[in-house]
Chain A
């Protein structure tokens, strides 16, 4: 069975400091992993995805994530937070098997950026 756990429901950082949002997954198959961002009252936008190529994945707006199979983790990082990064972030896993179409969402991490 597949599952995903976002270890923090809320994270607060000061503007200009690093961001770390943690995600652990469980998958019987080699998974695809995603991070989505949702700004208040908006839809979801893809930040980045891992699909068994390079383990360090770069996304939009300076975000990146590293796939660590030994730790079953896919943490999201950014070197320097900006006020516009305040949003909710979702880690998503999908097993990479033919004919499987389901995506499993974490419960989300709300990022607050302090001036």
Chain B
């Protein structure tokens, strides 16, 4: 039982490049989330998916898109990366009223 997995662990992009962060969970959870973590700001919600086939914007959705591919997988796409998107990104799923987090992706945009 791997829990929540994320790939890649690290990524460096140039301004304007695109990339997709992958997230998968094997706990049969309906709800999944993408957060970004910046120093002194806690975790801020980018997008979430309450169930397969639905997605909703969170607090900071600009510059991002998401896809809930199936119940297991929830990907986050940066179409044209900007330096302001340099951050650590966490994926989470929700079960039994609590969230379970992946190990994070550290993204640097130059």
Contact = CB atoms under 8 A, between A and B. Distances in A.
- What DSSP secondary structure best describes chain B's contact surface? strand
Interface stretch (A13-21, A64-72, A79-87, A103-111): A103-111
A102 B42 contact: no
B27 interface: no
B98 A102 contact: no
A34 B40 contact: no
Contact of A90 (B43, B45, B98, B104): B43
Interface of A: 9, 32, 34, 36, 42-46, 49, 51, 90, 92, 94, 99, 101-103, 105-108
Interface of B: 31, 33, 35, 40-45, 48, 50, 58, 90, 94, 97-104
Given A34-B98, A99-B50, A107-B41, 19 more contacts: A34-B99, A43-B90, A43-B101, A43-B103, A44-B90, A46-B98, A46-B99, A46-B100, A49-B97, A49-B98, A51-B97, A90-B42, A92-B99, A101-B31, A101-B48, A103-B33, A105-B43, A107-B42, A108-B42
